[in-house]
C-alpha cells in the first residue's frame, strides 16, 4: 500500500537492543535496576553518556561482541565508572537468559581489566570482581557525616569502607549528600556485622557519581569480603543492602578476586534509536 502513497522506501533499520534487569533480587528485595544495551557497533562516548542520562537508572551497561570476548562499559546518568557489580551481573543474566549466548562463562574487557561471569547452581549468576586491599584510616576523614564510626578503611583508590556498631545504627543513618560529597572518595560503603538472616548489612552512598544512595552495590563486596575474612576468618559472606529497594548478595574471597553472586530478573526489553 505504501507504494501507492508514493513513499519511496521504508526504513527497517533496527536500533540497539536493551533489557531492564533487576539485579541482586531476593524474597522481599527488589534489587538494583540496570539497563543492558547490546551495541551492534561502537558509539561515541558522548552518545553513550546521553543514552545513560535518558534511561536514568543508576547504571547502564553497554556490551558489544569483540572477537572471542565482550567489551563492557558502565555509565551512571552523569559519568562513566571504572567498575559496576550489579550492571555486570545484569549483563551476564542477559547473555545467558535473553540472548542464549553459547557457553556458561563469559569474559569482558573493561576499565577494571578482564572480568568474567558465569551461571551458578540454584538460579544464581556469578561474577568475578577484583578484590580491594584495605588500609586503615582515621575515621575523622568522614567529617562526622556518618555519626560514630568504629573503623574506617581505604578500599582501593576511590572507595572508603566505614564500620558502625550495629544494624539499628546503620538503618538509622540520615545522610546529608553535601557533607558526604566532601569526603575524598567516590563511593562510601557503610557496613555492620549482622542483620536479618545475613552476616553483614551495608548501605552505599556515591554523591560524587550522582547517586545519593545506591540501591544495591555488587562492587562493595570487593571491600566487604576482605573485611569479613579479617574479622571472622570465613572466606564466604552473605550480605543484605538496606536500601529502599533492598538487595541480597553472596561473596567468596579468593587471593586476587571476589566471586559475587546473586539472582536477577528481566523487567522489560526493547530497542533504542540514538
Question: Quick one: 88 and 142 in the same domain?
Answer: no
Predicted local distance difference test score (pLDDT) of residue 117 = 97
How far apart CA 37 and CA 15 sit, in angstroms, is 10
Question: Quick one: 73 and 152 in the same domain?
Answer: no
Predicted local distance difference test score (pLDDT) of residue 178 = 83
**Mean pLDDT, all residues of the chain:** 91
Question: Quick one: 139 and 104 in the same domain?
Answer: no
Question: Quick one: 151 and 238 in the same domain?
Answer: yes
How many Cα atoms within 13 Å fall on the side-chain side of residue 213?
A: 15
The answer to whether the CB of 32 falls within 8 A of the CB of 22 is yes
The answer to whether residue 10 is domain-embedded is: no
Domain span at residue 204 reads 134-256
How far apart CA 159 and CA 98 sit, in angstroms, is 33
Looking at residue 247, which CATH number applies to its domain? 3.10.310.10
Share of residues in the chain with pLDDT > 90 (%): 78
Question: Quick one: 176 and 241 in the same domain?
Answer: yes
Question: Quick one: 247 and 268 in the same domain?
Answer: no
Candidate from 7-16, 149-158, 225-234 with smallest mean pLDDT: 7-16
Give the SS3 label for residue 80.
Answer: strand
Question: Quick one: 188 and 118 in the same domain?
Answer: no
Residue 267 pLDDT exceeds 70? yes
Average pLDDT over residues 182-188: 90
With 0-12 / 13-18 / 19 or more C-beta atoms within 10 angstroms meaning exposed / middle / buried, residue 36 is buried
151 is catalytic: no
Catalytic residue among 8, 54, 59, 232: 59
With 0-12 / 13-18 / 19 or more C-beta atoms within 10 angstroms meaning exposed / middle / buried, residue 140 is exposed
pLDDT higher for 87 or 4? 87
Question: Quick one: 165 and 72 in the same domain?
Answer: no
Question: Quick one: 84 and 154 in the same domain?
Answer: no
Predicted local distance difference test score (pLDDT) of residue 15 = 63
Q: Please, where are the H alpha helices in the chain?
A: 45-55, 85-97, 167-171, 177-181, 221-232
Element spanning 35, H or E: strand 32-38
Number of folded domains in the chain? 2
Amino acid at each position: 500500500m505504501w507504494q501507492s502513497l508514493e513513499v519511496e522506501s521504508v526504513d527497517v533499520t533496527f536500533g540497539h537492543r536493551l533489557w531492564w534487569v533487576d539485579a541482586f533480587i531476593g524474597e522481599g528485595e527488589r534489587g538494583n535496576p540496570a539497563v543492558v544495551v547490546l551495541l551492534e557497533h561502537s558509539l561515541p562516548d558522548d552518545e553513550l553518556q546521553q543514552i545513560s542520562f535518558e534511561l536514568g537508572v543508576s547504571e547502564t551497561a553497554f556490551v558489544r561482541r569483540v572477537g572471542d570476548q565482550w567489551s563492557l562499559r558502565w555509565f551512571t546518568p552523569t559519568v562513566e565508572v571504572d567498575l559496576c557489580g550489579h550492571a555486570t551481573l545484569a549483563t551476564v543474566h542477559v547473555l545467558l537468559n535473553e540472548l542464549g549466548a553459547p557457553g556458561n562463562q563469559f569474559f569482558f574487557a573493561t576499565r577494571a581489566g578482564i572480568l568474567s561471569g558465569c551461571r551458578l547452581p540454584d538460579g544464581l549468576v556469578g561474577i568475578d570482581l577484583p578484590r580491594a586491599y584495605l588500609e586503615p584510616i582515621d575515621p575523622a576523614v568522614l567529617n562526622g557525616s556518618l555519626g560514630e564510626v568504629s573503623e574506617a578503611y581505604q578500599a582501593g583508590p576511590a572507595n572508603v569502607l566505614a564500620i558502625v556498631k550495629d544494624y539499628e545504627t546503620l538503618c538509622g543513618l540520615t545522610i546529608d549528600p553535601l557533607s558526604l560529597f566532601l569526603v575524598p572518595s567516590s563511593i562510601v560503603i557503610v557496613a555492620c556485622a549482622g542483620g536479618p538472616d545475613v552476616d553483614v548489612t551495608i548501605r552505599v552512598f556515591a554523591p560524587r557519581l550522582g547517586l545519593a544512595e545506591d540501591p544495591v552495590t555488587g562492587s562493595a563486596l570487593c571491600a566487604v569480603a576482605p573485611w569479613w575474612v579479617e574479622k571472622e576468618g570465613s572466606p564466604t559472606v552473605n550480605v543484605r543492602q538496606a536500601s529502599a529497594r533492598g538487595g541480597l548478595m553472596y561473596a567468596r574471597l579468593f587471593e586476587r578476586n571476589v566471586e559475587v553472586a546473586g539472582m536477577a530478573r528481566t523487567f522489560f526489553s526493547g530497542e533504542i534509536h540514538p
